[in-house]
């Protein structure tokens, strides 16, 4: 990877989050997977539960991309070391939302990518 090929802003996105920020992001992402309701929630409660959405409840139809109905869910999965397919990560990196892509790149460098077969791998492998 040649650094002269990157702008200053892109180089910043290749640096890991500071350690204190890394711990905070990881804790918050892990907590988002905890249910805040009882064992028999109503449909309305499940519609408003982040953990339910992250587990696939109310998934978007395939015609709309078939993803989870939770904004930024790819970053949450990476920050909590939850499996996410390489294909979905690469699709997110191709987003037109440059701020989201910068943050996602920084997450990959900091937390790595949890791959089902090989476990967590260094995120830079996806960025090169």
- Give the domain ranges of the chain: 3-127
The pTM of this model reads 0.79
Q: In Å, how far are 12, 26, 99, 102 from 96, measured between CA atoms?
A: 18, 25, 9, 11
Residues paired with 114 in a beta bridge: 120
Q: What is the pLDDT of residues 15-67, one digit of tens each?
A: 889 999 999 999 999 999 999 888 899 989 988 899 999 988 888 777 777 77
Question: Contact at 8 Å (CB) between 58 and 47?
Answer: yes
Which tokens is 13 given? 């996105």
Question: Contact at 8 Å (CB) between 111 and 22?
Answer: yes
């Amino acid at each position: 990877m040649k650094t002269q090929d990157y702008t200053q802003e892109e180089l910043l996105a290749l640096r890991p989050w500071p350690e204190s920020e890394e711990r905070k992001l990881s804790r918050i992402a892990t907590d988002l997977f905890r249910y805040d309701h009882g064992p028999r929630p109503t449909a309305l409660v499940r519609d408003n539960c982040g953990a339910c959405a992250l587990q696939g409840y109310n998934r978007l139809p395939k015609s709309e991309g078939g993803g989870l109905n939770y904004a930024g869910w790819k970053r949450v999965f990476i920050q909590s070391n939850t499996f996410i397919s390489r294909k979905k990560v690469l699709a997110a990196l191709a987003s037109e939302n440059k701020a989201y892509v910068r943050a996602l790149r920084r997450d990959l460098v900091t937390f790595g990518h949890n791959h089902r077969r090989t476990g967590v791998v260094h995120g830079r492998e996806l960025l090169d």
